[in-house]
Amino acid sequence: MEEDRSNGNYLDTREADRPIWLMKSPVVVTKAWAKHVSSASSSYSSPESLEIGKIVLSIDPLQPEITPEYSMEIVGAEIRNMPKSYALNMFEDFVPMTAFSEANQYKDTALVGMIDHKFDMKPLGEDIEDYARLCRERTNKAMVKNRQVQVIDNDRGIHMRPMPGIQGLVSSNSKHEKKKPVPVKQTEVKRTRRDRGELEAIMFKLFEGQPNWTLKQLVQETDQPAQFLKEILNELCVYNKRGSNQGTYELKPEYKKAAEDDTNGQ
């Protein structure tokens, strides 16, 4: 067993059948929980014993056929200046998944359970206003650019002169031989990722001018990689699978509210 561990081949399957939940949480909640767990670890507290939230299950005894409703209240939300109540939208149809973890000095991999519930976490009721305020603050902070001026020690401009062999210079032997530039294929263009906060601010501006966008249109407008753009769209938007706006993205209700409040405030 020890030899297998040293080679990284050990897999602990004792908890493979334990039912667990998978939940997608807003960025502000994820960061608050991570900071809370980090603080507990530094104070020698066990992360498993931490109370980060209370889940409320609502059932109508007169209508048992109706799907139960889940909600969550964050513990210590007032101290962290964040919304307290969240709705947990449950998905019943999803691909079966298993969760893994990595722990101890051997970096053993362990199965921690089988996912039987999947949730999407959103602000609930009056807390939508607080979440909209946090979104505006995060957007405004991302739009502030810290520009820096760098002084070049070499004032003779040697590093700014084109050197022999650089594309664009024509040698004396090829004055009349001009080669046509090779066209760059669209698939060969590599797009550089922007800062996530800066890109979110750009996205909000685009959706202010037009409520529905396709992925192809947003890739052209933002000049960002499609996969990176889809990650942010899945967090900020809903995808219309049917109707007159089929195949397009539009902002989630809480972000629409934030955009409207920001526009009215200006």
Question: E strands within the chain?
Answer: 11-12, 19-24, 53-58, 69-74, 85-91, 97-103, 108-123, 237-239, 249-251
The confidence score (pLDDT) of residue 154 equals 59
What SS3 state is found at 11?
Answer: strand
Where do the domains of the chain lie?
A: 11-143, 196-260
Helix (H) or strand (E) holding 86: strand 85-91
End-to-end CA distance of the chain: give it in Å, rounded: 66
Distance of CA 85 to the CA centre of its chain: 21
Distance CA(137)–CA(171), nearest Å, equals 56
Nearest to 240 by CA among 222, 213, 261: 213
27-58 residue pLDDT tens: 878 888 887 777 766 665 555 667 888 888 88
Whether the Cβ atoms of residue 95 and residue 71 lie closer than 8 Å to each other: no
Beta strands at 97-103 and 237-239: parallel, antiparallel or unpaired: unpaired
Instruction: Find tokens 């902002």 and name the residue.
Output: 251
pTM exceeding 0.75: no
Whether the Cβ atoms of residue 38 and residue 52 lie closer than 8 Å to each other: no
Top-level class of domain 196-260 = mainly alpha
The confidence score (pLDDT) of residue 255 equals 82
Structure tokens at 120: 């999407």
The confidence score (pLDDT) of residue 15 equals 85
Neighbours of 45 (CB within 10 A): 12
**Per-residue pLDDT in tens (0 to 9) along the chain, 266 residues:** 344 455 556 788 888 889 988 888 888 788 888 877 777 666 655 556 678 888 888 888 888 788 788 888 887 776 667 778 888 888 877 788 888 887 655 567 888 899 888 888 888 776 677 777 777 777 777 777 777 777 766 556 555 555 555 555 444 454 544 566 665 555 545 778 888 888 888 888 899 889 999 999 999 999 899 998 999 898 899 999 988 899 999 998 888 776 666 555 55
